[in-house]
Amino acid sequence: MTATMLSVLIVARNEEHNLPDCLESAKFADEIVVVLDRSTDGSAEIARRAGALVIDGSWPNEGERRNAGIAQCRGEWIIELDADERISPELKAELRRVLPGAEPGYYIIPFHNYIGGVWVRWGWGAYNGVAAKAALFSGGAKIWGDGEVHPGITLTGNKGRMTGHIEHFVDADIAAMFQRLNRYSSAAARDAVLKGKRPPGLRILRQFFSRFIRSYWQRKGYREGWRGLALGVFSALYPVLTYIKICELDSLRGR
């Protein structure tokens, strides 16, 4: 691409339906590394055909598998993708222009999040998805922490912001949104039980209302019609379902 080497890191599990388009958007990079966590479908073969370095394995949480992938990247700069994300043409052009000579550190990249193929601009946040994140960083500038769901991140160095975006195809429909809510709340409950943390019930009740208001009103989800309403409702339900599942797991353990 340039004298500055760029690696694209893709972390996936059983994503053969999403990987081809993701890999196609990243083929301009100097290197593609694909980390497959317990994949049993054709993801590995798809990635190898695209010329990617494939790392097969099993990791107990998101932070560990992402750090393992970062360690395999040889580029001076790394951009992280999930299989349902695509590097836009605008971002590709900006990377070519900005990275040569850039100070070590990280860049915040805007996200265009899609539900059912429709770009939903407003209402994102919490577990639903973010409007922007530090997906581009120089070697050593980003370290993932522990945790099964949304682990903490340590960022060092110069902070910048890109104007080009990543396209994120979050959910195909409402049914997929429900499935993701169930999956994420179950993982968050397991994580909380392992750490011995059960949040107070009153705080969960407050979060139910505050998260809906934040998503639907403060982040202007109302501008997105029923999709924005769904984001607000699911954001509010996430801590409630997580709490109920924590109680269930604790009862099964005799606590």
Summarize pLDDT for 71-114 with one digit per residue, the tens: 999 999 999 999 999 999 999 999 999 999 899 999 999 999 99
Mean pLDDT across the chain: 93
The CA distance from 33 to 184, in Å, is 25
> Going by C-beta distance under 8 Å and a sequence separation of 6 or more, which residues neighbour residue 214?
125, 126, 235
Mean pLDDT confidence for 145-161: 87
The pLDDT tens digits of the residues spanning 131-149 come to 999 999 999 999 999 866 6
What confidence tier does 1 reach under pLDDT thresholds 50, 70, 90? very low
The pLDDT tens digits of the residues spanning 188-201 come to 999 899 888 888 88
What confidence tier does 44 reach under pLDDT thresholds 50, 70, 90? very high
* Residue bearing the bigger pLDDT, 173 or 201: 173
Domains of the chain, CATH where assigned: 6-170 (3.90.550.10), 173-252 (no CATH)
Residue 219 has what DSSP assignment? T
The CA distance from 145 to 61, in Å, is 9
pLDDT of residue 148: 65
Mean pLDDT confidence for 144-168: 90
Mean pLDDT confidence for 111-124: 96
Query: Cα dist. 113→91, 119, 190 in Å?
Result: 15, 6, 27
DSSP codes, 101-167:
TPPSEEEEEEEEEEETTEE--SS--GGG--SEEEEEEETTSEEE-S-SSS--EEE-SEEEE-SS-EE
State what percent of residues in the chain have pLDDT above 90.
84
pLDDT of residue 103: 95
Mean pLDDT confidence for 209-233: 97
Closest C-alpha among 31, 34, 51 to residue 43: 34
> Going by C-beta distance under 8 Å and a sequence separation of 6 or more, which residues neighbour residue 1?
28, 29, 30, 95, 96
Residues in the chain: 255
pTM tops 0.75: yes
